């Protein structure tokens, strides 16, 4: 019943026990997962996994932290991969002002190029935002990102910002932080944003939900996210699981 819309099973943290992690996810009711690639090695692994398992899909894009490393050849490669039958989105892409590896102007340029590519290949985009909300919203508007829409990945902003993103044809995806005791904004978003615009994710191996916080995250824990949203919204777990599954399929164009 569950769709983990953002998982990094292509990370080296799963090299030793990937099959066990996948089995636990399936046992927990996670029937579909999107494996997100963000540079050459992780994109290659995401495609490999999507080819191997019928319940895994892939997204391909270039992470803003590594924007300085992206070449024209990389962008052409991503465009070619966009035609792959298991690729459902471009990303993750965006802006990250926490780390200083890639200058802001280069990050913005790489984001704009990927949005243009998404419109060309008609795929939704997955947006990574860290300490860059105003600039991201400006670029999404200027580049007409609403034409393809997509996902605000691991959303940490206010309900007001979430509504602005929804107007631009984006879904709001919540992960482990919504289960954190002191995470005020994600809880407010879960309560106030309509269920038909919400998605769930793990971003595993990162952002592990309570009560496993501090340990490696994995897709089976997305159930904890769905349960927390259900509690906050006064709905049943089944209602949240079913709605977020349908939302994800609609966003990704999966029948």
What domains can be seen in the chain, in order of their start residue?
2-252 (3.20.20.140)
Please give the Cα distance from 63 to 44 (Å, whole number).
Answer: 14
For residue 221, count CB atoms less than 10 angstroms from its CB and return exposed for 0-12, middle for 13-18, buried for 19 or more. Answer: buried
Check residue 40 and give its pLDDT: 98
Please give the Cα distance from 214 to 208 (Å, whole number).
Answer: 7
Q: Encode the chain (255 residues) as per-residue pLDDT tens digits.
A: 999 999 999 999 999 999 999 999 999 999 999 999 999 999 999 999 999 999 999 999 999 999 999 999 999 999 999 999 999 999 999 999 999 899 999 999 999 999 999 999 999 999 999 999 999 999 999 999 999 999 999 999 999 999 999 999 999 999 999 999 999 999 999 999 999 999 999 999 999 999 999 999 999 999 999 999 999 999 999 999 999 999 999 999 999
Residue in the structure block whose two tokens are 């590896």: 101
Kindly state the helix (H) or strand (E) to which residue 35 belongs, with its residue range.
strand 30-37
Check residue 12 and give its pLDDT: 97
Cβ contact 151:251 at 8 Å: yes
Check residue 30 and give its pLDDT: 98
Check residue 148 and give its pLDDT: 98
Check residue 33 and give its pLDDT: 99
């Amino acid at each position: 019943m569950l769709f983990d819309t953002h998982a990094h099973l292509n990370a080296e943290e799963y090299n030793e026990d990937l099959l066990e992690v996948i089995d636990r996810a399936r046992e927990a009711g996670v029937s579909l997962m999107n494996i997100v690639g963000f540079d050459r090695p992780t994109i290659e692994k995401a495609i490999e996994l999507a080819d191997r398992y019928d319940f895994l899909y892939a997204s391909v894009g270039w992470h803003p932290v590594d924007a300085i490393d992206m070449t024209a050849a990389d962008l052409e490669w991503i465009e070619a991969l966009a035609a792959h039958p298991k690729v459902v989105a471009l990303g993750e892409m965006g802006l990250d002002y926490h780390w200083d590896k890639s200058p802001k102007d280069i990050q913005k340029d790489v984001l704009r190029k990927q949005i243009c590519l998404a419109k060309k290949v008609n795929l939704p985009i997955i947006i990574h935002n860290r300490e860059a909300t105003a600039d991201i919203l400006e670029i999404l508007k200027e580049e007409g990102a609403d034409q393809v829409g997509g996902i605000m990945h691991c959303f940490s902003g206010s309900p007001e910002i979430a509504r602005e993103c929804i107007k631009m044809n984006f879904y709001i995806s919540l992960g482990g932080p919504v289960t954190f005791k002191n995470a005020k904004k994600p809880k407010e978003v879960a309560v106030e944003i309509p269920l038909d615009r919400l998605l769930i994710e793990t971003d595993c191996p990162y952002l592990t939900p309570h009560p496993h916080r501090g340990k490696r995250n994995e897709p089976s824990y997305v159930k904890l996210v769905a349960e927390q949203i259900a509690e906050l919204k006064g709905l049943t777990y089944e209602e949240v699981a079913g709605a977020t599954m349908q939302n994800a399929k609609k966003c990704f164009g999966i029948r």
